[in-house]
Structure 1
């Protein structure tokens, strides 16, 4: 694991988050939500729709994806005993850190689409210290996200 002195000095082989797998009812619709409402880039959606890959993703940044895995694939999750049982057991939430302007654009896009959101909070602790502002929202499959920014 990295220490706080490596914050900001990313190396090709440093430890960092690669992807998070989200269980979704309709991966194409989920990718549309994340593209339109959240502003993330879709990856492999056409390939998934053509049956060429098992799931699409959306890109959070150049090194992190959210994989949008259909709930129907749970029975094939056999990498560990009991792995299929993770279907329907969501993580409490995933947090996206954005620049201040991106934070404001995300909140506006969600509001335009009628996505329920929490009030804006302040001074929430995270990987980079205390965030100036944060809020929570839920995707159409019930996955909870936090959006935050650390500086102006």
Structure 2
């Protein structure tokens, strides 16, 4: 890994209950929890879940939105969901995640094909919502 390449570091998702949201992303999606106990103890402002060694999802409570003052007007857009976040997985992990979500009765869309993304056309993709309504897309590319 080099430090001179642009990468996606994190995405902030607005959630009602960060601990419950972390539990969903750990149990249903299979991501690694970060700082959940520290958040529950009041030591940090929000927990996160790790997507890969370089990228995390921050699970910010809606009450945190009024703190978004990094630029003039930032608080006005805080708390609004993004359209969706897309996770790219290997084909076998794609199948495992889809099955796990269905086992846990998380509604998923039908499988789509040839949707365009960062690496061209994905072989397959599907969507689901987390308990806070954030839309997650999952895809895989032929390697």
- TM-score under structure 2 normalisation? 0.96
CA distance in 2 between partners of 1:103 and 1:86 (Å): 32
Partner of 1:95: 86
CA distance in 1, matches of 2:38, 2:4: 29
Shift of 1:72: 0.5
Is 1:107 the counterpart of 2:95? The answer is no
- Structure 1 segments unaligned to the other structure (5+ residues): 1-9
Partner of 1:76: 67
Q: What is the root-mean-square deviation of aligned Cα atoms in Å?
A: 1.1
Name which of 30, 46, 49 aligns with 2:21. 30
Aligned residues: 143
What is the DSSP-based 3-state SS (H/G/I as helix, E as strand, rest coil) of the residue aligned with 1:89?
A: coil
Displacement of 1:91 in angstroms is 1.0
Contact map agreement 2:39 2:46 (CA 8 A) in 1: yes
- State the 1:77 CA deviation: 1.2
Q: Distance in 2 between matches of 1:82 and 1:116?
A: 35
Contact in 1 for aligned 2:68/2:78 (Cα 8 Å): no
Give TM-score scaled by structure 1 length. Answer: 0.90
- Indicate the residue corresponding to 1:59 in structure 2: 50
Aligned partners of 2:28, 2:70: CA distance in 1, in Å?
Answer: 32
SS in 1 for 2:87: strand
